[in-house]
Chain A
């Protein structure tokens, strides 16, 4: 008989006045409708609007100043794409010559038939046959990894998968976190030494999968292995998933080192216990400590 653990909601801990006091000094926090400045010498950035002659905040967040430009960065938003970002998305629609991809952005992204590598690998014009066979490559519900190629005028993203590292994702686990806690790095694909691989999408979608043995060049990123995944691999992936959720709950930046440290800190606990608030706090504290030591 499996026992079920139940708990009552915990008391909401207020921030210590000292911490919020020191915070107030070095950060300029605003809420919608707050006047940032009535000086006309500034430029209006994201998260602000002009109310008559006053520069006013339109979101709740922190004011960022770059020379004359004033922006307000909200705590939580949808993903704002930039060219070159690695994203993970889900196909929502197959249209003529394009796929629509849901990427946690404010409009669905577009993956053009002309910006994918087709199986076979050769470079050629896309024929009518390719258009008819689009659903054989990617169909609704498939997950893909891709790179942002350009941004349309209305803010929608255009993606491409013109590299063997991008393409359809096979077996693995998707974890959704806030896009703001994914650290921008040179590479977002990591083979972690603990025995699994991770793709940290800039859009807050994180993909965990067993480290592939060898890449089949011919398939061009559309080959998905249906081999059963060993129990050991699945346990590593489950542990990583819970670690990612713990890191996200405590707003720790996600990158290979932080994920790995968190994984190592969690090894003394059972996988399911990582999500318990008190154990989560302990693991995160240890992770933060190691990260600080690593930097210093």
Chain B
């Protein structure tokens, strides 16, 4: 019996080894050559494929119109618009990049910047826009830093939002908090938590089940405790030994000791359904949530009448006494237009057109995001959203969400470690350790 077993194992191992050898012999050739794609470059007729994620309602109509306008101004150029649902778009983009085939990769597509963009640039998939789009870059230079690799700009940010606290004005008032500072100190913030709790109101919700909403607390502590340059240097040198990173974790633990979060927050999803973190805020079950500029839209989708709740207010993440970070620095993220390496020159023109005063103004008027072009920032229709613009443009740096900044592999390892801190199963040093070991393995 054992002998036949051993025989079977030997056969299996032998088969596995030979398969492995055979497999290694194949493939490895699917690189991305310099195929000239589907067009002939400037001058002649060109087709620009454009992927975006405004796939419903006014946003979709607006972008269709934008493409039609561009075609009218540029005879011979056809813009092929493909609007898709956000997650679908990410999956399709990844598949297109994996194919390495210029015909599959869109010419103009959404980039989130940071480590993801860096990896794409290193694989030779993205076009350097520094010179080709110099005029546009000049206008939005406050935001291009996060979309540059080695001082070359590879994407044009068209929307840049902030993360901050969205709060329920009614519940705050009910608890007796009449004065809400737009940029509270941590002591003031703790005061809100205590007051809300003593009024029997759950102070905050957090979707730690999805990890990134929980991780935002740590990121923001980093933005507060570390100077912008410290973070940039740490990422560049993969050296996170500066004590400010551990300090960020300690601040997080101090917050967790206050137990401000909804019951079951470890399993709470970020945005899906009425029992998600956003759902609890939208239905008045908790008083606040740390979230990005998307929150009014998400909350609107989770209320019974489908309207954005009018009790929503916003204040910035608290500042800490003696923090090394500039108090005006904020954390957020946005979306940018990248042009793929195999795209025709008309694609660059189109990407620039998308950042033009006129297109950005229309974008702002429809509340599709927070425009980066200064000519359009005054046009944001929604008052609560418009409130974020002066904070964002208040002279500080906007640090990208750190998971995006560090790239998927390090970013997710970091988020996992932060989620463990929320569960009380890891400490400040563990988060730093997770980042370092993932960065080393990269």
A binds B: no
B: residues with CB less than 8 A from A are none
